[in-house]
Amino acid sequence: MQFCKDCGGVLNLFGNNESDLCSACIQQQKRMAQLLAPAAVVQKAETPAGLLAETVLSLEGGKIVLRSKEGWELWSAPAGVSTALPTVLARALQIYEIRLRRRKN
């Protein structure tokens, strides 16, 4: 007789089982993998460094403008104003996330 290595349930009373896990544990592992995989992808795409790699910084009509690859204006300021880069990136990321949510709806 063989037992599941995860829950301890009986695998097979007679014969050999190819897996060390019961069918319930295998299904649970598949569900957990599906739940965790998309979350990892979303986090990678929405980091400030990832956002910055796909944006364009330009001077338009006396304003400094940061635009996303979709053409959305993520941040702008008059040309003579100085702003800390972490502030710019944080605000741009917030705007980008809002626009992504609105586009999905």
Looking at residues 34-43, what average pLDDT do you find? Answer: 54
With CA atoms as reference, report the closest residue to 22 among 12, 32, 31. Answer: 12
Query: Average model confidence (pLDDT) for the chain?
Result: 78
Looking at residues 41-64, what average pLDDT do you find? Answer: 72
* Higher-confidence position of 31 and 36: 31
Contacts of 95 (CB under 8 A, 6+ apart): 72, 74, 75
* Higher-confidence position of 48 and 77: 77
Locate 25 and state its tokens: 């544990």
Contacts of 46 (CB under 8 A, 6+ apart): 93, 96, 97, 100
pTM, entire model: 0.52
